[in-house]
Structure 1
Amino acid sequence: MRIATRLASRATASSMVVAAALAVVGFQASGAAASATTAKASSVVTCTTANTKVTVTNVSRPINHLLLKATNTGTKPCYAYSAPFLRAGADAQAPLAWAEETIPQAVLTLEPGQSAYAGITTSSPDGEGGGNEKTLGVIFSDRNGHAVNKETTLKLPNGGVFFNSAATVTYWQINAADALAW
């Protein structure tokens, strides 16, 4: 009877050791999977002036609008968060207001070579003051809506564009038509 009990105890102990070893291996494997997921997620960077080329163009419709285009020139995908901070003219005291009604459903991820667009309303009859500006300063934002990296300055088309207090910029959009719909 003692031999049978001893064999059963050894079998139970062996099973427990094997189960514990498998649990440790499973835990390590899930940790490796989590590390791979984290590594993949961390390979996407924030779009900045360092990894994104920005251009501004005049559009015929709608009137008093410009189109801002940001193209990922980096080797990794980048997130185009929120809207750009824009400074119309070298003496601008504050960035243009963001058009809150243009918030997209998700953050735009730009693969290398892909572009995002923001529509700029330069003026409106409702606006006050204003002047003809020759440059546009552009700064990208991070996931918290704070400015990142440094400003890039673009020359505005036609030697200058009139901006007044009604000027706004849309959030980044995946295509130009959506950016100009506001």
Structure 2
Amino acid sequence: MRNHIRTTALAATALLAALSLTACGGNDNGDDGKAGAAAPAASTTATTPDTGKDTKDAKETNSGAAQAPAENASTTSTTSTTSKGSTGGSKSEKSSAGSGSKSPVTCTGSNTKVTVSKVSRPINHLLLTATNTGSRPCYAYHAPALRFDDAQAAFPVLRDSIPQAVVTLAPGQSAYASIGLSGEPDGTDLHKGKHLTVYFMPKSNSGSTGAPAELTLPANTSWGDNGFVTYWQSNMADALTY
């Protein structure tokens, strides 16, 4: 009986030892399982740098894509700057036009410099030149009204010399009128002239406007009652055709 118990105890001990070995073997299999599971993790880790590289490339691509709008924004900014510059130019041009397009005034002795000179052709003629010395354009209306010395009447105006349009002088520009000192001989006496007063006419051609110009005539000037003065012309040649 004791031997049976002893045998049973030994068998139980052997069984427990076998179970213990089985448990240890199970743990090893568990570690191997974990190691097997770790391989994909290692593979994933190995892939991760590639993925990281791809991600970097993707970032560089995105960075490049992100730069495109920035370049567009720069272009837009330049265009805007150009547009602003153009607008500024336009403003400058408007300002210039505004200064150049000041409302014209009537030419008078106050805003023009008037000179009188002899000409070789046509004979017995003088040339009047009125130059705009003001800052605004001025209209040289009609013909100048002339008075030689202390004559009682204004000098006759040649109606055939009316220009196609009113002569407008920008600052610095000149208008011209020729003076025929005598007309066809009609038996009238000539007068020795020393002084000439030049009056400017208003648009209405009634009376005179502004200050007149007071001139000294060239030496040995003689004029007759049948002489004439032309309308103001925009160029000298037109004035001297009469």
- For the aligned pair, the TM-score class normalised by the smaller chain equals 0.7 to 0.9
Q: CA deviation at 1:129?
A: 2.1
Query: Any residues of structure 2 matched to 1:92-171 within 5 Å, and which?
Result: 92-127=151-186, 128-146=188-206, 147-158=208-219, 160-171=220-231
- Secondary structure of the structure 2 residue equivalent to 1:63: coil
Give 1:33's aligned residue: none
Deviation sequence 1:151-177 (CA, Å, 0-9, x none) = 22100112x411111111000001111
- 1:64, 1:124 within 8 Å by CA — same for their partners in 2? no
Q: CA deviation at 1:124?
A: 2.9
For residues 170 and 184 of structure 2, the distance between their equivalents in structure 1, rounded to whole angstroms, comes to: 39
Higher strand share: 1
- 1:85, 1:141 within 8 Å by CA — same for their partners in 2? yes
Q: CA deviation at 1:130?
A: 2.5
Q: CA deviation at 1:123?
A: 1.1
TM-score w.r.t. length of structure 1: 0.74
- 2:102, 2:136 within 8 Å by CA — same for their partners in 1? no
Letter in 1 for 2:164: Q
| Runs of 5+ unmatched residues, structure 1 | 1-39
Q: CA deviation at 1:42?
A: 7.1
Deviation sequence 1:24-71 (CA, Å, 0-9, x none) = xxxxxxxxxxxxxxxx98711000111011000000111110000000
Identity %: 51
TM-score w.r.t. length of structure 2: 0.56
- 2:104, 2:138 within 8 Å by CA — same for their partners in 1? yes
1:58 aligns with 2:118: yes
- 2:102, 2:137 within 8 Å by CA — same for their partners in 1? no
Give 2:140's aligned residue: 80
Letter in 1 for 2:153: A
Higher helix share: 2
For residues 48 and 41 of structure 1, the distance between their equivalents in structure 2, rounded to whole angstroms, comes to: 19
For residues 178 and 125 of structure 1, the distance between their equivalents in structure 2, rounded to whole angstroms, comes to: 21
For residues 88 and 122 of structure 1, the distance between their equivalents in structure 2, rounded to whole angstroms, comes to: 11
| Runs of 5+ unmatched residues, structure 2 | 1-99
For residues 141 and 174 of structure 2, the distance between their equivalents in structure 1, rounded to whole angstroms, comes to: 13
Letter in 2 for 1:151: P
- Secondary structure of the structure 2 residue equivalent to 1:94: coil
For residues 217 and 223 of structure 2, the distance between their equivalents in structure 1, rounded to whole angstroms, comes to: 11
Give 2:29's aligned residue: none
Letter in 2 for 1:102: S
Query: What count of residue pairs does the alignment treat as equivalent?
Result: 141
- Relative contact order (alpha carbons < 8 A, sep ≥ 6): 1 or 2 greater? 1
Give 1:177's aligned residue: 237
RMSD: 1.5
